[in-house]
Each structure stands twice: as C-alpha cells, then as structure tokens.
Structure 1
Amino acid sequence: MNTPNNPSRFNVVARALRGAGRKAAGVALAGCMVASLAACTSASAGAASSAASGFASTAAASTAVDSTGYDLSYSDRDLDASYDASTATSIELSGTTASVSGSGAVAQGSTVTITEAGVYVVSGSLSDGQIVVSAADSDKVQIVLSGASITSSSGPALYVESADKVFVTLAAGTQNTLADSSSAVTDSEGDALDAALYSTADLTLQGTGSLSVTGSCNDGIKSKDDLVITGGTYTVSAVGDALVGKDCVKVKDGSFALTAGEDGIASSNEDDADRGFVSIDGGSFSIDAADDGVQAAHYIRVAGGSLNVKSGDDALHSDLDLEVTGGSVGIEAGDDGVHAEYGLSVSGGTVDVKSSVEGLEGQSISVSGGEVSIVSSDDGMNAATADATASSQSASASSAASPSGTASAAASQAAGASATTAAMPAQSQQPATGAPQGGGMPGGGGGGMETDENCSISISGGSVTVFSHGDGLDSNGTLSVTGGTVLVSGPSLSDNSAVDSGISATIDGGTVIAVGSVGMDGGFSSGTQAFATSSVSGSAGQEIVLYGSDGSEVARFTPASDYQTITVSAPGYAEGDSVSVSVGSQTLALSASTSATSSAGAGRMGGGMQMMQGRTGAFQSAASV
C-alpha cells in the first residue's frame, strides 16, 4: 500500500492509543514517536499514559473528523481495465485439467501457476482446481476472468501467494465464479488460506463483468494488503466476512450483493495508524451481515454510492472515526445504526436508519449537512464516553499514532426559513414499546447520567429527524444546535427526554420541533436564539406546524408517539417573542426565551389541566388561540 508522506497524521496520539487500555508497549512507542521531535530515546509507560490521556481529551472535545492521513486515492491502473487479448497468455480450463498458451504460466493437472508479470486471460471451468500467482515481489499481474468458473476442494480457488499487485479484470459481458470448500488449508507460515479469492498482495478488482464468490471456509474475497474495487458486479456469500482488505477496502464503483456470517466489509489492520479503513466513493451495495455491515479498525468513509445494510450488530462500525460526506445509506440494525468510538460526522448524503437500538452513537457526533433520519428502540443520537476497553482490545497490538485527529467543528451554518416537512415512519418502522433493547439504561440530565465533557452532539446544518423510544438526542456532555432542522419524536415514558444533556444544551440557530415525555429534566438550557417549551398532551399522528416570528410557516412534523411536552425554536426567535405552534386542529401561543427557567407549567390541549415541574425555556401553559 502506498503511504502518503504526512507527518501530521501522528499529531493525535490518543486516537490510536484509545485511552489507558492500550498495551504498555504500544503506549511507550507512541510516546517516543511524539517526543522524537525533541530527540527522545525512551519513554516510561506512566508518562506515555499521561500524555495519552491529555491527547484523548483534546481529540474528543471537537467534532470534526480528520482523514488526511489515509490514502483514499486510486491509481491510473486501478481505473484502467483494458487489456490486449491478442498478446495475452491464454489459460483454458476444462474439468480437472488446464492448458496454457503463451509465457509466464504453467499448468500441472488442475493447478495453473502464474510466475511472471503479464496479462493472463482465463476461460472455461475447473471442477476441482486452482489458479496460483507465485510471482516476484516486484511483478504486477493482470488476470482477466472471461467466463471462468473455478471450484477448489483444497484452499482458495484463486490464490495470490506472491506479487507486487494483482489486478483481477472481469471481462465485459461474462459471468465468472469462484468457490472454495469448508476444508481449512494453511500456508508455509501457518496462516489460514481461508477465502475463495485470497491474496497476500495488493488486490484490485475491475471491469464490467460479473463475479460470484462462495466462501465456504471463511471469507469470500480477502487481501492481506489493500483491496480496491473500481467496477464489476459481485455476488458474495461467505460464512465469515464477505469482503476483507486488511490494510484497507476502497470502492470506486460496482454492484454488490453481500451475504456474510460475520461482517459484510471489513478492514482489520490495527497496527498501522494510516491503515485499517474502509472508503466508499461509489457503487451500489446490498449487505446482509450477521455481525457488522461495515467494520473498520480505524476509519470508515462514505462519500458516494448507495448502501442498504441489514446487520445483526452495528450497520457501520469504526473503532475510531467515521464520516458520511455523500451517497445514501439505508440501515436496519440489530444494535447501533452508525457507531464510531470517537468521532462521527455527517456532512452530506443521506443516512436513513430504519430500525436500530441506538441510531447514531459516538463520543462526538457532528451533523453539518445531509439528511439523517432515525428510528430507534433506545436513544436516537447518543454521545457517550468512548469504550477504551473495547477499543484497546480491538487494537491491542497497535504501536503507532492514528492519523485521525479531530479538527475544530465546522463554522455554524445559518438555517433558512423555508418550510420543512417530516412525516412519521410507517408502523413497521416505529420505535418498539417496552424496555429498550441493549445500550444500557436510557437516561439524561437529572436522571443519573454520567457526565463527560468530551462528549458532544453538534448540529450546524442539514436535517435530523428522530423517532425514538429512548432519548431523542442524548449527550453525556454538551449538545448544541446552531443550524439545520431538528425534528424529534421522543419517548412517551417519563424516564427519557426528547433533548437530553449531561452538561448543557444550547441553541444558537436552526429550526427545532422536539416532543417527548414529562418527568425528565431535559430540554435546552440557553442560547442566543430564543426557544419555547410547553406542557401539552399530543397524540401520535397529529401534525405539528411551526410558525416563525413573522407568522410564516417554518416546518411541519408528525410525531410517531404520544407526548406531554413540546420544545420549539426557529431562526428569528428573540427574547419575549410570542410564537405559534399548531397541533392538530388547535394552535398554541408560546412565549420564547433565551434561557431556561423553572416554573410550574400547566396545560392540556382542548381543556383539562395537568401539573408538571421542569427545566424549560419559559415553561408555560399551552394557551389556545
């Protein structure tokens, strides 16, 4: 893998160390890396641990994700799937035998071994055989699958034992298949050759043909270095992971139907700070994984394409950072929809979490653009302290600092006053009732939440729509809204809130409609943009219409659950403004404020009164007008 010359990637030590749980050897070496600028020759484990703690606080306190240390590019040859068949070596497969026409390869029974750089066109079928690449470490080999079908009862169907880089090209208009058996085979060093297509070298898949892969031993397609895919149609079924690139998985284009007994796509290098990442720039994906849909040791990036992920655990999971800058992601998750142990950023694209325990979870969550929609049985967004134990377990051998530092949050984006509409999800997508699944005890400020100043939720642009059974937006530290549109249908149970923070929840811009239960001390604490909170009794399915300070319509929202409180804010709201909110056929007149007050508010729409006490911005009775 080509590594960019980027010394700045070592600036945030603690992201690779992931807290004090890192093994002492990794801590000491990382400490030396930082101190080497001062000609350090040794570092005690204790000093390195202290340094790691300090860096962790700095890194986690901000919300942007820095990806500059990762090589996200594609080479010209990655993108060029052309070849000259007239000068290429031809490999013809037939049952249990094969023949070679040209130089650089030899057939022995049902095994074809490629020993030199060059282009090799493979056609026909082997009922029990193998193609092996055993070339020099400087050789680049292109294998063109042109109607090839290979099944192996002993080891991978296509095995790259040695080469600099191998390009597997799917010839236009052809269908190709690779399959291994459940029998385990090891190489001379004792490593399991546990994939139908297994490579020890960088591997690029390209072309416009199709490839069907069955991984019966473990994985479907696996590279111990880089796995790059720039085109083709792939159907992969594996008892383990479907696609694996130890150093990275990069996808430019292609169509993928992935079924996995473990992860759909995985990159597992925990030792090198600039590796262990998954980057998706394009393509269409249907992923059905028993474990994580996409999993990375350090970093996940979705910048384009279309992903539909059904997972038994998290749909997208990074042990460090994750960002969505474009494309679309549809999620049905058994646990978290999108999980990053540290920084999670959405700046573009669409994230649609149709079902989850918690929708988005990370230590620092930032939404500055794009569209986020969440249905969750627990919290919609949860900013919680990073699990240093879990992170250190997944990277216990790591001894280098991560490139994924965090920069300061992007500049706040002022939200426009154009009308925004959001409807409640279909009945099958609404949050489950009863106790939340997993995720620990839901809670918030005033409910025994552990506070952590490193935790944050920052919404500065885009749109966020949440239908949750637990807290709608929940930060163990700070929560800020400075732009965008935020619509929350929170819980009807009194042990959760629509907006919940451990330290503070501020609003300085944007449009907010948040409804939820009474009884939790939640909501905004202050802001330069005024907000209003009221006790009401609203029913699921009743449309809410929010009006601006000038009386114009700002947003519409249809909650999925009954609720007892409503919090609203919109651009232009100022201290003391009288603002209007319609709920069903009735209209509330509320007084906006820039700070929270504690007072007894009473109100039930359509007559009837109920008492409640809470922290609110001008908490008040719901006056019908």
Structure 2
Amino acid sequence: MKKLRKYTAAALSALLLVSAVPFAASAAEASSDGIIRGDVNGDGVVNISDATAVQRYLSSFITLNDERVKAADVNNDGEVNIKDATEIQKYLANYSNTYKIGEAIEAESGSTDPSEATQATEATVPTQATTPAAEVTGDEWKENTGKIVLSNNAITVTGNGATVDGNVVTITEGGDWEVTGTCDNGMIYINTGEEKDVNDKVKLRLNGMSLTNQNGPAIYFDRCKKAFITIEDGTTNTVSDSSTYDTAYADAKGAIHSDDTLEIKGKGTLDVNGNYKHGINSSDDILIENGVINVTAVKDALHANDDITLSGKNIKLTTNAQGDGIESEGTINIDKASLNLTGSGKGINAALDIALTSGTYEINTTDDCVNGNAAVNISGGSYNLTSGDDAVTGATVDIAAGTFEIECAGKGINGDGDITLTDGTYTVNSTADDCINGNSVVNILGGTYTLTAGDEAVTGDAINISGGEITANVSGKGIKATTDMNITGGSFTVTSTDDSIHSNGNITIDGGTFKLTSNDDGIHADTTVTIKSGTIDILKSYEGVEGNYVVIDGGTISVVASDDGVNAAGGNDQSSMGGRPGQNQFRPGSSTSNSSITVNGGYLYVTASGDGVDSNGALSFNGGTVIVQGPTTGGNFAIDADGTIGFNGGTVLALASSNAMWEDVNGKSGNAVLNKSIGSVSSGSTIAVTDSSGNVLSVIKPRISGNLGILYYTDRTSLLTSCKAVTGASYSGTLDSFGYSESGTISGGTGKTLSKGSSSGGGPGGRW
C-alpha cells in the first residue's frame, strides 16, 4: 500500500517538473506493466471473485502482493478500499466502466478519476524562462470559508457566494461553511450553476445546529460538483423537513437531498427526520465515513439512485423507517459500520449487489432484512436479524464469514440462484418456512448451524456439503434437494417430522458424521442412495435408508426403524401409514422389479420392527458386514427380497423372532445357513457363530430377546454347513460399540447346527 502511494506521489512530482514539456510527449512514453486493472486474484480475467477478493483483503482474510494491490486499486486513488470492490461490481453488471477495468494498467501519471483529472495541453517550449500559469488543483474551493448562523429572527452568513433571503440561505459558489444556531422554518439551498467545475464543491460543517423546513427539504444540494456534510466532534445536530413540499422543491425527496454525490463524515451526532419521503436522499451516490446518524422517515431512511457506501468503524446508523432502512438503486457496500435498522420495509435493499465486509447489524423489519436483486456477498460481521419475511435474500448469496442470529417468518437465507456458505456461525429460527433455501445450488463448505424451521432446514435444487456442523430441528424435512445431493464431510444432528435427509433425485454420501431422528425416513432418495463412507447413526425412523436403488460401498451405518431398516422402493405419494407423515415419490416409470439393494462394503447395523433389509427387487451382499436384529413379531422378515438374493462376500448375521423370521420360507437361502430356532435369548446375552473347530467367526450381544432364529453368511469359511450358533456361552474378547466382534473366544453354552435351505442356489425371491 505504501509503495503504491509513493508511486503515485512520484508520478505527480514528475508532471510538475516537466510542466514546460508538451504533455503528449510524456504520454507517448507510457508502457504497460502487464497488470490487468481489476484482476485482483491474477487469473487473467475480471469476475465476481475479484470483487470478493477485495472484500476479503480489507477484512484481513487474505494478503496481496504489490502487483495485486495495484490491480485492486481500480480507481487509482492510492489505496484499496470498498470503493474499488464497488467499481468492479458495476463493471460486471455493465453499469459503468469509468476506470477502464479489464484493461492493462499503463504507467501511472496521476489519478484516473475523470472528475478530478486536470486537463493538460500542449505548449511550445519557450526560448526564455517564463512564469508558469497558476495550476488549478481542485482544492481552491476549500479556501472560501464562511459561517451560517441560523435563527428564527434573522439568519446571518459570511463567505463568498452565500446570501440570505428571508429564511433561505442560498450558496452559489464552492466553499466550506460552518453551520450553527436554530431555525424552525428555513432552508439551506445550494446551486453553483449548470457548468459544475472542479471547484464547485460545497461542504457544510454542522456544529450544533437545528434546522426545520415547513415547506420543503431542510438542506438541498440542487447543483454542485460534490456535496459534503461534516458532523463536528461532540455536537448534536437536527435536520427535519415537512410532510408536503412546495412545487419549487418537487425534485427533492428528503430532509437532506443532493442531486450529486453526497459524502457525510464526522465525530458528532446527526438526527434526521424525513416527513415527506426519505431521510437522506441522493440522486447520485451516498458515502458515509463516520459519525452517529439517527434517521426516521416515512419512506427510506437512506436512499440513493446510484451507490451507497458506508466505510468506517466509527459509523453508527440508527433508522426507523416506514420504507427501507437503506435503499440503493445501485450497489450497497458496508464495512465496519454499526447499524440498528427498524422499519416496515426492508432493512438493506439494493437493485444491484450488496457487499457487507464487517460491522454490527441489528435489523428488525416487516419485510426482508437484507435484500439484493443481484449478488449478496458477506465476508464478516455480526448480524441480529428479525424479519417478517426473509432475513437474507439475493439473486446469489455468498457468505464467507460472520455471526448470524436470525428470527424470521419467511426464509432465513434465500437465493434465487446459488448459495455458497464458506464459514460462519448461524442460529436460524424460521417459524413457517425454510432456514436455508436456494433455487439453484446450495454449497456448504463449513460453519456452525443451529436451525429450527417450520418447514425444511436446508433445501436447494442441488446440494453439496463438504464441511460444517449442522444441528436442525424441523417440522418438515431436514436437508432436501430437488435433484441431487452430495455430502463429503460435515457433522449432522437432525430431528425432523419428515425425512431427515431427502432428495428427489440421488444422494451420495462420502464422509461426514450423522445423528438422525425422524418420524419418517432417515435417508431417502427417489432414485439412488449411495453411501461410500461416513458414520451414520439413525436413532429413530419409519424406514432408515430408502431409495429405488440403495448402494452401500463403505461407512458405518446404524439404523433403528419402526418399519424397514433398509428399503429399496416401496414409497410413494400414497405410502403414508400408521401416522407416518412423509409422502415419498419415486420416479415415474419405476417398478419393484428394477429396484435393488447392493452391499459392497462398510458396516450396516439394523434394528427393525419391520423388515431388516427389504428389496422389492434384487438383493446382493458382496462385501462388508451386515447385522440385522428384528423383527420380533410375525409378518416381517430380517432379510426380504422379491427378486434374487446373492450372498457373494462379506458377513451377514440376521436375528429375528422364530415365527416372524421363518414365515413363508421358500428355501432360497443361497449360500447362507440358518436355524429357525436357537432357543430363548435374553437381550445383552451372548450369541456366537463358530466354525467346525469351535473358532469364533462372529459374536454379538443382541438388543432383542425372545425365541430367536438366525441366518448367517461369511466369506471367511467355505464350510458354512459345519457352523454352529452358540447361546449362553461366556465370551472373552473385545466387542465394538454395537456389541459385535469377529474375534475372541467362548466357553460353555449350547450349540445349534446351521444348515442351508432346500435349495443351494439363490432364487427369484427369498425371505428369512
């Protein structure tokens, strides 16, 4: 940053030294240094990532080298600030490109701001020394100082270009005026003429003043190059307009109105009462650097036809508006400010992008708290948002960091397009809607989320989650995708009336930790559920894992289900039964014969009152470990398939009630062995399966009790028909958290021989 400032200063000094040399010759020597203006991340193009990079740089999330700082200083004012991010956003929206963003940076020759540039002209080199003409720096207006003393009797003014007519002060020249006193019916009117040159700038220093106009705006910057208001340190100032305006002031729209850019700063307090429309209004930009500003308004508290920028940690803005708190027809950029916004409209509302870098935000509105019709980018700050509608909404929403406390009747965070949440802490209570909703892709990369919803916790067209900690308690579904969902990491604790994890398309889980409690399905996909890795604990469900196709390649999965533990097909819009709230729709044209469950690996532990593993089509065990306990009553089966069953690898151990497990046995046990009655077993006792030499192949302390049967398969021995199920034995060894092991020793107990069914091969249908 310092190098950049020195470079600019050196360039200006050089111009002064060669002032007698034709400017055109100097310009001809300029050469490109290979840096693209606005390409902050150095990838060769200018896009929204560069605007975000500026915001993250200002929040100290990233650092930039000298070249990237030069690229980021798009307006070439010698520093990188929020204005540079705004200019990039305006360029991307095809709104303006004043500073030639996207073009190579040429050797610097001073400010690139066309409004501040001094036009140099060619001159013949004199043969004799001459006195150079006085240079116009653009700061001469500051030398014209004066005072305005308000009064109900007689207003007095000093300074060139300031006059008084009754109770109206008119300023016609650029200058710097101090304003004091009180007037209950008056106005300060500024008009420096149609041709606004560089010195037609006007500053009002508010030094303990109070001004009310009963016929129009109190302060009216009608025409000037730029308008400044300074709130003097330690003072309180009040500005109020009337509820109706005289026709002469019909173009004004606020107690403080400017047709040109309005900049406000200072360490004092400014109270504004907008009784006609807005509190503070500009037909151009509004820039606020510091100050304590309190605004009430019948419409918007702050309103600008172009951009609004609040940049400074000493800004404290409090509004109470019947319209919006802050409304811009361009962009809104806020960094480090402290805001308390209350109103009947929206809190922060922009026609284009919103960039919130840091700060403190207390917003209580009937409408949305933060609304951007283009992108909403948040890279830090503390947000306490109470909304009668959505809390944060935009065409796209990108949140890199921040702390959010949200109470809303609508959606907590809503995107018409993509939502990307990189980090942050979110506590969201959406009483009647979703906590997080994206109409396109929702990407969650990290963060901590406590979500309470009248509908879904997280919903999107497609959902990608790679990290974060999500705790949700919802009346609808927990996490729902319209198309596909991909989860590769994160922690999930979901309590839901409907499905905890749901997709109308496919679900792929390849990582993460899950604790799911559902009155319907734990995990449901209308097409395919694929589990590759992760730790999944479904503590309560109607059906644990359900899809038209279920593929388990890995992971540790524990299921407690009042119906089926794992189910392929079987759910549709008419499947609600026994108080089950869910209405699951499989894809049109699907049939039970095309459904399947395939277990290739992992650890699946099922406790079910219905079928343990139930496929309305084929069922294949190719690897991994599958433990099924239940049902304990008739009418359901531990292993159930309408199509073929293949025991091709891994280990399968199924326990169920004798009369439940063996109803309608058709002898299609494939390679598995079984015994429909191994005796009365108590929960927590020991059941072991041993080979012909008495070695333990599997041992379990069951969660169910009663007169049980067993089905067993393992690829660790080829002599399954020599295996026995031993009950009542003493076990020595280590059990896992599910009470299961494939090692250790037993002593004592009663053994029952396991045998195959009447057919040795897998057939078209089987139930055990």
CA deviation profile, 1:150-204 (whole Å, cap 9, x unmatched): 1112x1011112x2x3211223xxx3212212xxxxxxxxxxxx412122x1111
CA deviation profile, 1:594-619 (whole Å, cap 9, x unmatched): 97479xxxxxxxxxxxxxxx9799xx
Q: Secondary structure at the match of 1:502?
A: strand
Cα pair distance change 1:104/1:558, threshold 3 Å: same
Q: Does 1:578 align with 2:722?
A: yes
CA deviation profile, 1:313-351 (whole Å, cap 9, x unmatched): 111111121121100111010111111111111110011
Partners of 1:282 and 1:77 in 2: CA distance: 25
Q: 1:251: which partner in 2?
A: 444
Cα pair distance change 1:307/1:150, threshold 3 Å: same
CA deviation profile, 1:529-566 (whole Å, cap 9, x unmatched): 55334422333332323345665434332322235210
Pairing of 1:367-406 with structure 2 (within 5 A): 367-385=552-570, 387=572
Q: Does 1:343 align with 2:528?
A: yes
Partners of 1:143 and 1:291 in 2: CA distance: 31
Cα pair distance change 1:615/1:533, threshold 3 Å: farther
Give 2:386's aligned amino acid. A
Q: Does 1:263 align with 2:456?
A: yes
Would the aligned equivalents of 1:378 and 1:439 in 2 still touch at CA under 8 Å? no
Q: Does 1:178 align with 2:385?
A: yes
Q: Does 1:159 align with 2:382?
A: no
Q: Does 1:329 align with 2:522?
A: no
Cα pair distance change 1:286/1:91, threshold 3 Å: farther
Give 1:333's aligned amino acid. S
Higher relative contact order (CA 8 A, sep 6+): 1
Would the aligned equivalents of 1:321 and 1:340 in 2 still touch at CA under 8 Å? yes
Cα pair distance change 1:508/1:213, threshold 3 Å: same
Q: 2:231: which partner in 1?
A: none
Partners of 1:502 and 1:532 in 2: CA distance: 19
Partners of 2:601 and 2:364 in 1: CA distance: 51
Give 1:565's aligned amino acid. G
Q: Secondary structure at the match of 1:82?
A: helix
Q: Does 1:361 align with 2:361?
A: no
Partners of 1:96 and 1:233 in 2: CA distance: 30
Would the aligned equivalents of 1:277 and 1:299 in 2 still touch at CA under 8 Å? yes
Q: Does 1:588 align with 2:751?
A: yes
Q: 1:319: which partner in 2?
A: 504
Cα pair distance change 1:342/1:550, threshold 3 Å: farther
Cα pair distance change 1:566/1:105, threshold 3 Å: same
Q: 2:678: which partner in 1?
A: 536
Would the aligned equivalents of 1:241 and 1:266 in 2 still touch at CA under 8 Å? yes
Q: 1:461: which partner in 2?
A: 601
Partners of 2:55 and 2:531 in 1: CA distance: 33
Give 1:348's aligned amino acid. S
Partners of 2:54 and 2:444 in 1: CA distance: 14
Cα pair distance change 1:150/1:106, threshold 3 Å: same
Would the aligned equivalents of 2:669 and 2:760 in 1 still touch at CA under 8 Å? no
Give 1:82's aligned amino acid. R
Give 2:546's aligned amino acid. E
CA deviation profile, 1:38-78 (whole Å, cap 9, x unmatched): xxxxxxxxxxxxxxxxxxxxxxxxxxxxxxxxxxxx97987
Q: 1:304: which partner in 2?
A: 489
CA deviation profile, 1:401-449 (whole Å, cap 9, x unmatched): xxxxxxxxxxxxxxxxxxxxxxxxxxxxxxxxxx965499xxxxxxxxx
Identity %: 28
Pairing of 1:438-587 with structure 2 (within 5 A): 438=580, 452-517=592-657, 518=659, 519-521=662-664, 525-527=668-670, 529-537=671-679, 538-547=681-690, 551-562=694-705, 563-574=707-718, 577-585=721-729, 586-587=749-750
Would the aligned equivalents of 1:539 and 1:561 in 2 still touch at CA under 8 Å? yes
Q: Secondary structure at the match of 1:170?
A: coil
559-568 vs 366-375, which deviates more?
Answer: 559-568
Partners of 1:380 and 1:81 in 2: CA distance: 49
Q: Does 1:277 align with 2:421?
A: no
Would the aligned equivalents of 1:287 and 1:308 in 2 still touch at CA under 8 Å? yes
Q: 1:120: which partner in 2?
A: 334
Q: 1:27: which partner in 2?
A: none
Would the aligned equivalents of 1:242 and 1:260 in 2 still touch at CA under 8 Å? yes
Q: Could you tell me how far 1:117 is from its partner in structure 2?
A: 5.5
- TM-score under structure 1 normalisation? 0.64
Give 1:354's aligned amino acid. L
Q: 1:233: which partner in 2?
A: 425
Partners of 1:510 and 1:321 in 2: CA distance: 26
- TM-score under structure 2 normalisation? 0.53
Q: 1:148: which partner in 2?
A: 361
Q: Secondary structure at the match of 2:407?
A: strand
573-582 vs 252-261, which deviates more?
Answer: 573-582
Would the aligned equivalents of 1:487 and 1:557 in 2 still touch at CA under 8 Å? no
Q: 2:350: which partner in 1?
A: 134
Q: 1:290: which partner in 2?
A: 475
Q: 2:95: which partner in 1?
A: none
Cα pair distance change 1:106/1:87, threshold 3 Å: closer
Would the aligned equivalents of 1:83 and 1:119 in 2 still touch at CA under 8 Å? no
Would the aligned equivalents of 1:547 and 1:581 in 2 still touch at CA under 8 Å? yes
Partners of 1:438 and 1:228 in 2: CA distance: 33
Partners of 1:365 and 1:257 in 2: CA distance: 30
Would the aligned equivalents of 1:96 and 1:126 in 2 still touch at CA under 8 Å? no
Would the aligned equivalents of 1:353 and 1:359 in 2 still touch at CA under 8 Å? yes
Partners of 1:462 and 1:179 in 2: CA distance: 45
CA deviation profile, 1:383-403 (whole Å, cap 9, x unmatched): 11563899xxxxxxxxxxxxx
Cα pair distance change 1:266/1:505, threshold 3 Å: same
- For structure 2, the 5+ residue unaligned runs are 1-47, 60-79, 84-287, 311-318, 583-589, 730-748
Would the aligned equivalents of 1:359 and 1:375 in 2 still touch at CA under 8 Å? yes
CA deviation profile, 1:129-152 (whole Å, cap 9, x unmatched): 64444345xxx5422241111111
Give 2:608's aligned amino acid. S
Partners of 2:720 and 2:556 in 1: CA distance: 32
Cα pair distance change 1:376/1:385, threshold 3 Å: closer
Give 1:195's aligned amino acid. D
Give 1:531's aligned amino acid. V
Give 1:259's aligned amino acid. T
Q: Secondary structure at the match of 2:499?
A: coil
Give 2:327's aligned amino acid. T
Partners of 1:471 and 1:456 in 2: CA distance: 15
Would the aligned equivalents of 1:326 and 1:347 in 2 still touch at CA under 8 Å? yes
Which of 396, 415, 424 is matched with 1:202 structurally? 396
Q: Secondary structure at the match of 2:520?
A: coil
Count the aligned residue pairs: 442
Q: Could you tell me how far 1:124 is from its partner in structure 2?
A: 2.4
Cα RMSD after superposing both structures = 3.4
Q: Could you tell me how far 1:593 is from its partner in structure 2?
A: 4.3
Partners of 1:478 and 1:91 in 2: CA distance: 68
Cα pair distance change 1:347/1:532, threshold 3 Å: same
Q: Could you tell me how far 1:452 is from its partner in structure 2?
A: 2.2
Q: 1:11: which partner in 2?
A: none
Q: Could you tell me how far 1:523 is from its partner in structure 2?
A: 8.9
Q: 2:82: which partner in 1?
A: 88
Partners of 1:78 and 1:522 in 2: CA distance: 64
Give 1:558's aligned amino acid. K
Cα pair distance change 1:261/1:533, threshold 3 Å: same
